C-alpha cells in the first residue's frame, strides 16, 4: 500500500524484509518518525522464504550474544508484534555422524565454554537416540541447545508489518531506493522516478541488494547473492521433535505439528539480483533430500509437495554487515545476514533504533563492520 510520506523523517528504512520492518517497529516505538521504502512488497525475498529456525546453537562466536538475546524477544512476540508469530520453543540438535564430527563438536563446546557460554551441551549416542529414536543408527552424539525455537516466517512478516503501521510507520511498497547521499544534518534517499526522501538517519536493510547500495557509497563488501533452497514434504507420521542439523553434512530439518517436514541445509539455486528472480538447482534439491533420508530412513517414501528458494546476501565470513557507514554520516548498514538472520531479526531492529538515536545498545558490533573486508 502506498501512503503519502512526510518531507523529512527521523529514520528512512530501505528494505521491507524482517530486518527493515523490525528496525521500523523499534524506531517508531522509541518515538522516531519512520518511512520504510520497499522495492517490491514487504517480505518478498529472504524473509518469507526462510525456514524460520531460531537458533543459537553453533553460532559464530561474534553472534552468540545477539542470538541469545533475540530468543528472549521471540518469546515476547505477542507483546512486541501483536502476534505469537508461530514462535515455539524447541531444542536444536546438531548431529555427529562419525568420530571426526564428534571431535568437531567437542572442540566447538570447548571453544564456547572458554568464551563463557554454557547454552550448548554435548550428548552421547544413548542420549541422542533417547531423544530422536527415528535417527539412522550410525550416529554418535550431538550438540544440543534446549531453549532454541522456530517461528513462522510469513506470519512474522505480516505481524511485523501490521505493528509498524499501527505505530505510525509509513510503508511505501514498489518504491526502490536508488542512492543515499549525505546532506547537512541528515541523508537524502533518492527514489526511483526521481522523488527524494529526506531523513536524519537511513538504514540499508536491503538484504542481498544491500551490498549494491553499500558499493554505491564506496563501501565494497564481500557479499554474494545466493538463492537458498528449501523443500517441504507431505504430512508423515510424527517422527522428530527437535530441529535437526548435522555437523559435516548439509542438512537442516524439522517436522511441523501437522506432520509436514521442512528440509534445507544451504543448497544453492540461481539468483538474479537484477530481476529478483531465482531458479532451483534440482541436483542440489536431490542431494538435500538424500541427506535427509540418510539421517531419517523413514523419509524414504515421503512425497515432496513443494520446493522453493529465496535470495539472501551471504558474506565471505558468514557474518552480517551491521553498523554505521564509514563514508556517509547518518547511514547505518544492516544487511547480508548470511542465511541465519531470521533468528536475530527482532533484536536487530532494536540495535538499529539505538544506533539511530546515538545510544549504546551494549553489543560488540566490530566483527560486523562494513570495512572489515577491506582490512582483510
Ligand X SMILES: Cc1cc2nc3c(=O)[nH]c(=O)nc-3n(C[C@H](O)[C@H](O)[C@H](O)COP(=O)(O)OP(=O)(O)OC[C@H]3O[C@@H](n4cnc5c(N)ncnc54)[C@H](O)[C@@H]3O)c2cc1C
Q: Is 125 left (phi over 0), alpha (psi -120 to 50) or beta?
A: alpha
Hey, what's the cell of 333? 548498514
Q: Which of 74, 81, 267, 342 binds ligand X (CB under 6 A)?
A: 342
Residue number of the CB closest to ligand X reads: 17
53 counts as binding ligand X under rule CB under 6 A? yes
Stretch near ligand X under the rule CB under 6 A, chosen from 122-130, 159-167, 288-296, 305-313: 305-313
Q: Is residue 342 within 8 Å of 50, Cβ to Cβ?
A: yes
Q: Residue 86 CB, nearest distance to ligand X (Å)? A: 13
When the beta carbons of 50 and 90 are compared against ligand X, the nearer one is 50
Q: Is residue 64 within 8 Å of 112, Cβ to Cβ?
A: yes
Q: Which of 45, 94, 155, 247 binds ligand X (CB under 6 A)?
A: 45
337 counts as binding ligand X under rule CB under 6 A? yes
Q: Which of positions 204-223 make contact with ligand X (CB under 6 A)?
A: 205-207, 209
16 counts as binding ligand X under rule CB under 6 A? yes
Stretch near ligand X under the rule CB under 6 A, chosen from 8-16, 118-126, 231-239, 288-296: 8-16
Q: What is the dihedral sign for C-alpha 372, 225, 227, 177?
A: positive
Q: Which of positions 229-288 make contact with ligand X (CB under 6 A)?
A: 230, 264
Q: Is residue 13 within 8 Å of 24, Cβ to Cβ?
A: yes
Stretch near ligand X under the rule CB under 6 A, chosen from 122-130, 202-210, 215-223, 366-374: 202-210
340 counts as binding ligand X under rule CB under 6 A? yes
Half-sphere exposure of 359 (CA within 13 A, CB side): 10
Q: Which of 34, 51, 132, 271 binds ligand X (CB under 6 A)?
A: 51
When the beta carbons of 123 and 273 are compared against ligand X, the nearer one is 273
Q: How many residues bind ligand X (CB under 6 A)?
A: 39
Q: Is residue 263 within 8 Å of 240, Cβ to Cβ?
A: no
Q: Is residue 22 within 8 Å of 349, Cβ to Cβ?
A: yes
Q: Which of 6, 40, 82, 196 binds ligand X (CB under 6 A)?
A: 40
- The continuous run of DSSP H or E covering 65 comes out as helix 61-75
Q: Give, in order, the Cα–Cα distances in Å from 259 to each of 237, 267, 303.
A: 6, 23, 12
Pair type for strands 34-37 and 8-14: parallel
Hey, what's the cell of 202? 537511513
Contact footprint for ligand X (CB under 6 A): 14-20, 37-40, 44-47, 49-53, 176-177, 205-207, 209, 228, 230, 264, 309-310, 312, 335, 337, 339-343
Amino acid at each position: 500500500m502506498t501512503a503519502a510520506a512526510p518531507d523529512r523523517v527521523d529514520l528512512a528504512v530501505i528494505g521491507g524484509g524482517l530486518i527493515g520492518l523490525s528496525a521500523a517497529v523499534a524506531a517508531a516505538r522509541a518515538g522516531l518518525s519512520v518511512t520504510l521504502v520497499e522495492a517490491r512488497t514487504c517480505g518478498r525475498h529472504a524473509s518469507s522464504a526462510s525456514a524460520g529456525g531460531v537458533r543459537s546453537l553453533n553460532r559464530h562466536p561474534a553472534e552468540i550474544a545477539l542470538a541469545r538475546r533475540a530468543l528472549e524477544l521471540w518469546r515476547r512476540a505477542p507483546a512486541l508484534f501483536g502476534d505469537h508469530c508461530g514462535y515455539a520453543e524447541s531444542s536444536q540438535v546438531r548431529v555427529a555422524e562419525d568420530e571426526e564430527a564428534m571431535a568437531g563438536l567437542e572442540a566447538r563446546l570447548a571453544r564456547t565454554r572458554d568464551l563463557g557460554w554454557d547454552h550448548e551441551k554435548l550428548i552421547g549416542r544413548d542420549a541422542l537416540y533417547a531423544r530422536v529414536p527415528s535417527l539412522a543408527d550410525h550416529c554418535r552424539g550431538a550438540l544440543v541447545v534446549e531453549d532454541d525455537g522456530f517461528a513462522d516466517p510469513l506470519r512474522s512478516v505480516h505481524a511485523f508489518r501490521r505493528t509498524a503501521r499501527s505505530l505510525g510507520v509509513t510503508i511505501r511498497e514498489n518504491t526502490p531506493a536508488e542512492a543515499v547521499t549525505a546532506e547537512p544534518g541528515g541523508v537524502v534517499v533518492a527514489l526511483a522516478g526521481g522523488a527524494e526522501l529526506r531523513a536524519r538517519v537511513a538504514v540499508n536493510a536491503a538484504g542481498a541488494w544491500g551490498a549494491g547500495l553499500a558499493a554505491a557509497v564506496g563501501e565494497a563488501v564481500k557479499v554474494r547473492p545466493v538463492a537458498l533452497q528449501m523443500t517441504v514434504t507431505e504430512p508423515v507420521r510424527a517422527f522428530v521433535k527437535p530441529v535437526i542439523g548435522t555437523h559435516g553434512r548439509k542438512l537442516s530439518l524439522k517436522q511441523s505439528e501437522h506432520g509436514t517436514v521442512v528440509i534445507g541445509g544451504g543448497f544453492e539455486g540461481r539468483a538474479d539480483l537484477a530481476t529478483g528472480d531465482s531458479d532451483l538447482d534440482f541436483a542440489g534439491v536431490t542431494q538435500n533430500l538424500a541427506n535427509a533420508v540418510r539421517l531419517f530412513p523413514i523419509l524414504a517414501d515421503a512425497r515432496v509437495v513443494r520446493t522453493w528458494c529465496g535470495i539472501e546476501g551471504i558474506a565471505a565470513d558468514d557474518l552480517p554487515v551491521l553498523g554505521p557507514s564509514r563514508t556517509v554520516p547518518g547511514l547505518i548498514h544492516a544487511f547480508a545476514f548470511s542465511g541465519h538472520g531470521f533468528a536475530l531479526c527482532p533484536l536487530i531492529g532494536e540495535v538499529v533504533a539505538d544506533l539511530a538515536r546515538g545510544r549504546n545498545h551494549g553489543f560488540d558490533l566490530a566483527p560486523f563492520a562494513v570495512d572489515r573486508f577491506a582490512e582483510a
